[in-house]
Amino acid sequence: MSFDPALYIHRVGLSNTITIDEAGLEEIHRAQLYSIPFENFDIHLGKPINLDEKSLCKKLLQRNRGGYCFELNGLLQIALTHFGFQSRSLLARVHVSGEITGRNHQLLLVTVAGRDWICDVGFGTNSLRAPIPFELNQSREQDGFIFRLRADETYGYMLQSKMGGTWQNLYSFDFSPVFPVDLELGNYFTSTSPQSFFVSNRVAALGKPDGRTALINFTLRETDGPQEHVTDLEAGPSYLGVLQDYFGIDLDASYGALKPIDPH
């Protein structure tokens, strides 16, 4: 299926009137972030991750599944283009672990009335809640999370998040042109390489205005404001129930279809 705006609006809970301005951009960004989960379970079902419009719309809109950055930001870009926004893809290196990665994270640069905005609904638990203007050294608070952009002489620009009073590097990017083949290469590594975090770990995350819910393998974390609740899950069919109840993910498969991972 190609992009169906009515289905997208229903899926993310938008109003039928989309304004092509900064407020409209934030409305779309937040709506998708709070409705479509970040998740990588197709990798663990042995299914390919396809980035063409038909595949993205079928999986994320028709089948009510989620995805990771190439899928989530890919769908966001399709929607933004349809509604009349000007956007282009950027590629980033992730710095969360302290190690340098390849340029295998997709985000978007959106221009509204001559002003550039960074949009990203595909960075899991640390995703931006709303677009931030491309302005350096300005702290931006979003739902209790604080972000900023800084220039970096090596990597171009760095997105940081303030955690426990300390600024932590999330990812770096520049404005080099990004072509579909670049996205395909990054997606192939992310979904197939033994060195990819997403190949060896099951993850899911869903933001909400007052917190977020995140799953890494068998650990479920629910954050509501300053409160966090951690649950250790059991391996077995009940695991699929957690995916459905907390993230709306219906795998249409038995637990045994998932590639095994160490629950410890």
- The reply to whether 105 belongs to the active site is yes
- The reply to whether 21 belongs to the active site is no
Per the listing, tokens 């002489």 go with 153
> CB of 31 within 8 A of CB of 133?
no
- Mapping DSSP onto H, E and C, the string for the chain reads CCCCHHHHHHHHCCCCCCCCCHHHHHHHHHHHHCCCCEECHHHHCCCCCCCCHHHHHHHHHHCCCCECHHHHHHHHHHHHHHHCCEEEEEEEEECCCCCCCCEEEEEEEEEECCEEEEECCCCHHHCCCCCEECCECCCEEECCEEEEEEEECCCEEEEEEEECCEEEEEEEECCCCCCHHHHHHHHHHHHHCCCCHHHHCCEEEEEECCEEEEEECCEEEEEECCEEEEEECCCCCHHHHHHHHHHCCCCCCCHHHCCCCCCC
Of 57, 69, 95, 119, catalytic: 69
Contacting residues for 260 by C-beta, under 8 A, at least 6 apart? none
Of 57, 95, 105, 119, catalytic: 105
* Geometric angle at alpha carbon 59, from 181 and 198, rounded to 5°: 60
> CB of 56 within 8 A of CB of 62?
no
Of 120, 143, 174, 252, catalytic: 120
**Catalytic positions, written as ranges:** 69, 105, 120
